[in-house]
Structure 1
Amino acid sequence: MRIRFAAALVTFALVILSSFARGAQNDSLLHEKPEPKVQNAWYEKIQLRGYAQLRYNGLIETNPDLKCDQCDRSWGGDGGGFFFRRIRMIFSGQIHPRVFMYIQPDFASGGSNLVQIRDAYFDLGLDADNEFRVRIGQSKVPFGFENMQSSQNRLPLDRHDGMNSALPNERETGVFFYYAPKEIRKRFSYLVSSGLKGSGDYGVFGLGVYNGQGPNALDRNKNVNVVARLTYPFELPSGQIIEGSFQGYTGKYMVNKSSKLSPSQSEFQELRYGPTFVIYPQPFGIQAEYNWGRGPEYDPQTNTILDAPLDGGYVLANYMVKTNSKVFIPFVRYHYYKGGKKFEIDATRHRVKEFELGVEWQFNRNFELVTMYTISDRTFENSADPTNRQKGSLLRLQAQVNF
């Protein structure tokens, strides 16, 4: 009996001592300094977004031989049907106060649903506010408002031939310097996020050097191209924003020639320059761009590629109507181009006159529908088809999902 009582007493004493020990430990923790907050790892700062575009071009088509491979490979020819024009996934983030990452693959490249890198670049900030930046990698070249405008935001289904013929897929691998004051960088961002169809933040001033043979391609002549652009979005007291720009580039390009072509040079010096003028749709808007220059162009009379003058551009008018959560934007565009397309076989000779009438319906933030009627007169000639002028019209549809 005494042994059991002694054991119980010892147990009770141990419980009391343990309780005091825990209390003393908790009291000491109350007086300790809180541990510093751990910063998020770089991969926790990356955001994912994207969009997909499904098209159908086979309605009221008057001429199946009228086509534009650069614009949309499901337009004309023996193909057609439903067609994924783009399936983009965008990985981006400020992984360091002075380092921004942007990687964008496309899962519908070339109309064959193949995966291909569109953008892969890093912005290195040279100051605390990142007003001065150096961009390294593959990205859009700062030449032309519509070229830099995302296809997610653009009203017409395709970019105009006049300036898009300068840069296949609008992108190149190189090094670019951008400068824009902090408040103007916010304005560039607002022009996109507000739905006003901005072109994005490519600086008030941009200067760059790049390979010149196109994206996802090696340089073939060990010469870099040089591009420069100056732009400014003015905000009037009324809140209306007007942007004016001037851009130009020069460099050398190696043309791909067919076996049917007469002997001629392959490397050509090219030069382009031109202005941009934009009145953002508040609610009425206008876009106009033009460029002049020289570059390679197929000559059907001599069956050779010549150094030739080129020029082209467009004017677009639109009107934004907002009703509750829906947005309705009717638009018209006329564009023109006279010159070669250096990245097509034999620097194909082009003469383009095209009128487009369309409507973009934004049912909500995640779904849009574009209906566009195209009336076109296109000449596209090379050694395989030295006499080829096609006229016609068609109704085009595009459903876009944003996520």
Structure 2
Amino acid sequence: MRSIRHFARAAVLACSVTTAAASVASAQVSPPAAVLKAPAKPAPPPAVKAAKPKEKQWYEKVKLRGYTQVRYNQIGVTNERLVNWQGDRSIGKDGGILIRRARLVLQGDVHDRVFVYLQPDFATVVNDQYHVPTLRDWYADISIDKRKEFRFRVGQSKVPYGFENMQSSQNRAPFDRSDALNSALKDERDLGVFFYWAPERIRQRFKMLVDSGLKGSGDYGVVALGAFNGQSANQKERNSTPHLVARVTWPFQIGKQIVEIGGGGYAGKFVVKTAKDVTAPDEVRDFRAHAAFTLYPQPIGFQVEYNIGRGPELVGNRVEERPLHGGYAMAIAKVGDFFPYVRGVLYEGGRKFETNAPRYSTRELEIGTEWRPIDAVELTAAYAIAERTFPEPPYQQESGRLLRLQVQVNY
């Protein structure tokens, strides 16, 4: 009996020891409650704001372009005294090869509402000196609205008069501007302030007419008003009376065709340079009005302009105010990369920019074609039949014929 009690006591003790050992082992192996839980998600990193694009400096917004024209007018010349000093100095005796224009244009938006346009020419002829650098354009367009429909142009620029005068020589098919319109404004430019207005969609149309190769005149507004010195570009002003100018034009879209109709005029007082044996008033009234019609070549085009007015003209040995008139008509076609054309010019009146403002009588017929084999090169050939007044005393009429050639490089 006693042995049974000892055995039971030993069994109970063994169970107690085993249970205690198991508890200790369990306490050592089991992880803490915090370890059994799923780890918490890390907090998202703070959002990084998109970096603002760096605003371009003004000098990163401008671009450089230009063109060069090289001519030869000595083939088939029938009269060496037939000259056109304002248009092309290589016409006539000892003309040779001529760089007619060598232009570089720096242009761009230097501000949301300020556009600059700077253009020198490195091929101006001054007396007997060729390739003289001169200033052609140096102006800023200051827009007064976000859409740039209203803007002021300040500086030396083209005076808004006529269609052909406004058209760049880079885009014009005939070699030179007509005497009829170009006699109004030597180099087409002067120092002044001009206001332009055109709806945004019409400004885009003006741009398209140039970019598409349709011989547009550029964007000089639907309405143009301005005041300018009046003695022409790069010349000292000689009186206190500015010239005033106004022009209105609109390119109508008629089906697939575009027709542009415009007109305008200018008025002021001009001071004539005279020789010692010629007298002239201190100032002579100088005013003109013009009308223009253009059917763009798609594929057949037609262009006509005419102007009338009064201005200084030499009569005997005295400069007086006299009437003037003249214009041109041109038919032109677009046939692939070719632009064949024929243009007739008429002008009767004074040439105020020349010494003594001699009377000019001009008749000219030019038949030619322009070919653009690649965008960077244009080749033009034309046959001219002309009668023009020689620009020095005794101011005789000269007539003749010649073949004209030109290579134009665009860059």
* TM-score, with length taken from structure 1: 0.89
1:77-136 CA deviation, whole Å, 9 max, x = no partner?
3x3111000000000001111100100010111171111110000000010100000000
Aligned letter for 2:295? I
- Following the alignment from structure 2 to structure 1, what is the Cα–Cα distance between the partners of residues 194 and 244? 10
- Following the alignment from structure 1 to structure 2, what is the Cα–Cα distance between the partners of residues 264 and 125? 42
1:264 to 2:272 alignment = no
Secondary structure at 2:248 match in 1: strand
1:320-355 CA deviation, whole Å, 9 max, x = no partner?
111xxxx01110000000000100010021000111
1:153 to 2:161 alignment = no
Aligned pairs, how many? 366
- Following the alignment from structure 2 to structure 1, what is the Cα–Cα distance between the partners of residues 321 and 182? 19
Secondary structure at 2:356 match in 1: helix
Map 1:173-184; keep pairs closer than 5 Å.
173-184=191-202
Quick check: 2:272–2:280 contact (8 Å CA) kept in 1? no
Offset, 1:35: 3.1
- Following the alignment from structure 1 to structure 2, what is the Cα–Cα distance between the partners of residues 214 and 59? 33
Quick check: 1:348–1:380 contact (8 Å CA) kept in 2? no
Aligned to 1:367: 377
Map 1:168-207; keep pairs closer than 5 Å.
168-207=186-225
Offset, 1:209: 0.2
Query: Closer, same or farther in 2 for the Cα pair 1:217/1:31, shift >3 Å?
Result: same
- Following the alignment from structure 1 to structure 2, what is the Cα–Cα distance between the partners of residues 368 and 252? 40
Query: Closer, same or farther in 2 for the Cα pair 1:36/1:172, shift >3 Å?
Result: same
Aligned to 1:313: 327
Aligned to 1:96: 111
- Following the alignment from structure 2 to structure 1, what is the Cα–Cα distance between the partners of residues 114 and 212? 25
Aligned to 2:65: 49
Quick check: 1:351–1:380 contact (8 Å CA) kept in 2? no
Quick check: 1:135–1:175 contact (8 Å CA) kept in 2? yes
Quick check: 2:155–2:191 contact (8 Å CA) kept in 1? yes
Quick check: 2:160–2:220 contact (8 Å CA) kept in 1? yes
Aligned letter for 2:273? N
Map 1:179-328; keep pairs closer than 5 Å.
179-237=197-255, 239-261=256-278, 263-299=279-315, 302-322=316-336, 327-328=337-338
Aligned to 2:386: 376
- Following the alignment from structure 2 to structure 1, what is the Cα–Cα distance between the partners of residues 224 and 390? 33
- Following the alignment from structure 1 to structure 2, what is the Cα–Cα distance between the partners of residues 380 and 308? 20
Aligned to 1:125: 143
1:107 to 2:115 alignment = no
Aligned to 2:9: none
Q: Select which of 59, 69, 78 maps to 2:85.
A: 69
Greater alpha carbon shift after TM alignment, 110-119 vs 170-179: 110-119
Aligned letter for 1:107? F
Offset, 1:386: 2.4
Offset, 1:28: 11
| Deviating 4+ runs (over 4 angstroms) | 27-31
Quick check: 2:83–2:390 contact (8 Å CA) kept in 1? no
Secondary structure at 1:91 match in 2: strand
Aligned to 1:22: none
What is the alpha-carbon root mean square deviation over aligned residues?
Answer: 1.4
Aligned to 2:356: 346
Secondary structure at 1:350 match in 2: strand
Quick check: 1:256–1:345 contact (8 Å CA) kept in 2? yes
Greater alpha carbon shift after TM alignment, 34-43 vs 192-201: 34-43
Offset, 1:30: 7.3
1:197-233 CA deviation, whole Å, 9 max, x = no partner?
0000000000000000110122110110000000000
1:331-385 CA deviation, whole Å, 9 max, x = no partner?
000000000010001002100011110010111100001001110111246xx51
- Following the alignment from structure 2 to structure 1, what is the Cα–Cα distance between the partners of residues 157 and 405? 28
Identity in percent: 49
Quick check: 1:375–1:393 contact (8 Å CA) kept in 2? yes
Quick check: 1:256–1:266 contact (8 Å CA) kept in 2? no
Offset, 1:29: 9.0
Quick check: 2:261–2:292 contact (8 Å CA) kept in 1? yes
Aligned to 1:136: 154
Quick check: 1:257–1:266 contact (8 Å CA) kept in 2? no
* TM-score, with length taken from structure 2: 0.87
Higher alpha-carbon Rg: 2
Task: Identify unmatched segments of 5+ residues in structure 2.
Answer: 1-42
Offset, 1:152: 0.2
Quick check: 2:331–2:342 contact (8 Å CA) kept in 1? yes
- Following the alignment from structure 2 to structure 1, what is the Cα–Cα distance between the partners of residues 203 and 398? 44
